Amino acid sequence: MSNKYTVGIDFGTTRSAISYVAANNPEIITVDDGERVMPSVVQFRDAGEVNVGRSAANTAIEMPERTITEVKRRMGTEEPIPVAGEEYLPEQIASLVIAALVSDAQERIGVDVEITNTVITVPAYFGDKERTATESAAEIAGLTVDRLLPEPSAACLAYGLHENKLSEAEHELVFVYDLGGGTFDATLVDIDYEINSVETLNTAGNNKLGGMDWTDEIVDWIAEGIEADTGVTIRENAEQLSRVREKARETKHRLSNTQSVEVSVPFVVPEESYTFSAQLTRDEFETRTADLIQATQESMDELFERSDNDPQDVDKVLLVGGASRMTQVEALVTGYFGQEPSKEINPDEAVALGAAVQAEIIDERGASAAEMLPGESDSIVLIDVVPQSLGVRLSDGTVDHIIETDEQIPTQKRKEEYSTAEPDQTTVAIEVYQGEEQLADENTKIGEAVLRDIPPREPSEPTLAVEFRINTNGRLEVEGEDLKTGKKVETTIESGLRHSDAEIEELSRQLPSTSD
């Protein structure tokens, strides 16, 4: 009989990792021919197969129109991705990355292992739609999702484990600056080592800001240089643009360790035998990306405007995500908090390792929290918060916020003051929006729940109630009630992102097979 395992998965914009606990210690499982991370790249081959990971990334330049990168940026959208003559939902593409991780991990752990469950991480600022899509991706890959774990909480679990070995601290206020390939989280966390408590106090962020945006600035710099020299717009050629992007990514990484880089893209305009060659200094790079680093500070400012704490109250700053290695990030954080960020955890691996700790304790296969973390408790207290306010659309086009940003989850709130909009109305659509703006159309519509066959009444009569419930995964459920008849509609909100078990099976069946 095979051993069933629950693993931790860090599904990233540019790279993903998988982990588990062995001998009471979380470990990254090597995948993709011995690597600790797998590029989140999916390539559709001519033979009806898909190639995932490093080999797909290495041949992306030759097959740009058949290669999908950075799909995490598209999670929560319902627009299909066209590739190789077919269309796939973002969660289907993401599921191929997750499935490849799991397949490789099973081989590394042992032939008698069956990975069935996962704790998968999500950016703290991911809303309901993005979290739903991430959970669906894991389910399409054949996994049961035990928990969606916010990345800052996961990083703090890994940090807490490290502190158990190095420090006598009983309590710390920790700020997590998480700049990944495509998303940014700013999160303030209270850690109590005595009781293994990780309590998120405030969070802010940007789901459309990450290391790829810094890469894009270098792409623009190269493209501008090529056009100035040749008059050719490189963006019109997918293969050449792919080569430029790869060089831009390499240059960005090198600028974290050196003051200038000689950037060369041979024969980038082949019809003119033109090779781009120019020097990019770190100063120029940081000048070009000043607005991006400023955008992360704006999220930090927003967080502390809402918080009961100030930057000087922070005991430790953790940098998480590969893009946080850039020197301008360390300079910003050091100036903002008056202290250098911690170097005690690997920013590329902390999230995956923390997910493994949570997975092991949920799995109850061996180690307890007391054996892995500083406190004496056999469990972990993880308290997360609502990243963005949730409310219902009113007839005047505004939003009535029912659950506010930074409220602890799980939570539930109920309001009973709603009425119909028209005489003789027998159906009410409860449209649910996420965001901080007063006008509904300036926020994100998540979906709707519909009350049907209610008796007509005067529009001014407040006889309708709405209840929001958010579970530990940050997933929203909505209940609408007609107070006159007691008729209720209790459902996860109607949305193209919420798939039934049958739909999950069908979405999985539609995918081509992965190549060995």
Q: Output the DSSP codes for 352-374.
A: HHHHHHHHHHHHTSS--HHHHSS
Mean pLDDT, the chain cut into blocks of 10 residues (516 residues total): 82 96 88 93 88 94 92 94 94 97 91 89 93 96 96 91 63 95 96 88 96 97 96 89 94 96 94 94 98 98 97 96 96 98 90 93 68 70 92 94 94 92 87 94 88 86 91 86 84 62 92 73
What pLDDT, on the 0 to 100 scale, is given for residue 165? 47
pLDDT tens, residue by residue, 209-237: 999 999 999 999 999 999 999 999 998 88
Query: Structural domains in the chain?
Result: 390-485 (2.60.34.10)
Residue whose pair of structure tokens reads 């999916």 in the numeric block? 42
What pLDDT, on the 0 to 100 scale, is given for residue 491? 54
Backbone angles phi, psi at 134, to 5 degrees: -65, -45
* Contact yes or no for 139/63 (Cβ under 8 A): no
- Residue 364 Cα to chain centre, angstroms: 26
* Contact yes or no for 297/332 (Cβ under 8 A): yes
Cα radius of gyration rounded to whole Å, the chain:
24
What pLDDT, on the 0 to 100 scale, is given for residue 87? 95
How far CA 237 is from CA of 257, 270, 271, in Å, comes to 31, 11, 12
CB atoms within 10 A of CB 421: 11
Q: Which two tokens stand for residue 389?
A: 């306010």
What pLDDT, on the 0 to 100 scale, is given for residue 493? 58
Q: Where are the alpha helices (DSSP H) in 127-191?
A: 128-140, 151-166
What pLDDT, on the 0 to 100 scale, is given for residue 1? 40
Sheet of strand 428-434: strand arrangement: 399-403, 390-393, 428-434, 444-451
Residue 43, amino acid? Q
Residue whose pair of structure tokens reads 């969660």 in the numeric block? 91
* Contact yes or no for 143/450 (Cβ under 8 A): no
What contacts 488, CB < 8 A, 6 or more positions away? 451, 479, 480, 481, 482
Whole-angstrom Cα distance, residue 238 to residue 286? 27
Sheet of strand 67-69: strand arrangement: 67-69, 41-44, 49-52, 513-514
What pLDDT, on the 0 to 100 scale, is given for residue 496? 53
Give the predicted TM-score (pTM) of the model.
0.92
Strands 390-393, 81-83: pairing is unpaired
What pLDDT, on the 0 to 100 scale, is given for residue 22? 83
Which helix (H) or strand (E) is 511 found in, with range? Answer: none
Task: Please classify residue 458 by burial: count the beta carbons closer than 10 Å to its beta carbon, then call 0-12 exposed, 13-18 middle and 19+ buried.
Answer: exposed
pLDDT tens, residue by residue, 256-303: 999 999 999 999 998 889 999 999 999 999 999 999 999 999 999 999
